[in-house]
Amino acid sequence: MNFSFRILVIYLVVIFYFIMLGRSEASELLIEANVEPSVSIVPWQKIAHIGNVGPSGISTNLPFYVTSNTSGVHINLIVTHLYKDGDTSLNIKLPVNESSGVQVSPLSARPMSGSSLYTQYEGTTDLNKSGGVFQGFKSATISLENTTSGVLQETIDFSVAWLSNGVAQPSGTYQGYVIVTVSVE
């Protein structure tokens, strides 16, 4: 074997070694991702036909589906008076039964840190809608938690009521709003 052939072979072996060394190197990277707290709430229906008004008024259970990737949520409601034909300018209304408050009926969530499944209204509010300014009441906060997992996913019923005060109301459809706000920490 001549000298230049040996150098060529050594050269090829060295190049092959570095090529193979470059192909077999490993590196690792730890991946981290943040999952921010989130919540969503969806009513079971967009319009709730709650039935006929009796002499003392009407009450109903309104189901909402709540999903949160945290174990606890804080809930507030706004419940407006029901106005004939959804027109507040007529000033014909079924007022919110302020003394009945709001009863909350979750499937499995429990009240957290001194909260209750019942809350009173704590103030008034106005909602500007296409039918005018709908007057109503705000509830105190209701805090619920799921004690079995780190998420809360369930239907929660909210019981609210309106009065007719024993007075005959003009016939027609009465409309108002129930707004449920859910937040997480």
Residues counted in the chain: 185
Mean pLDDT, residues 53-69: 93
| Distances in whole angstroms, Cα of residue 24 to Cα of each of 17, 50, 61 | 11, 70, 66
| Distances in whole angstroms, Cα of residue 145 to Cα of each of 34, 43, 133, 179 | 22, 20, 34, 20
Tell me which CATH code domain 39-183 carries: 2.60.40
| pTM for this model (two decimals) | 0.81
Q: What is the mean pLDDT of the chain?
A: 88
Helix (H, G, I), strand (E, B) or coil at 132: strand
Q: Which pair of structure tokens corresponds to residue 159?
A: 């019981």
Q: Is the pLDDT of residue 4 over 70?
A: no
134 or 5, higher pLDDT? 134
* Rounded (to 5) percent helix, strand, coil in the chain: 15, 45, 40
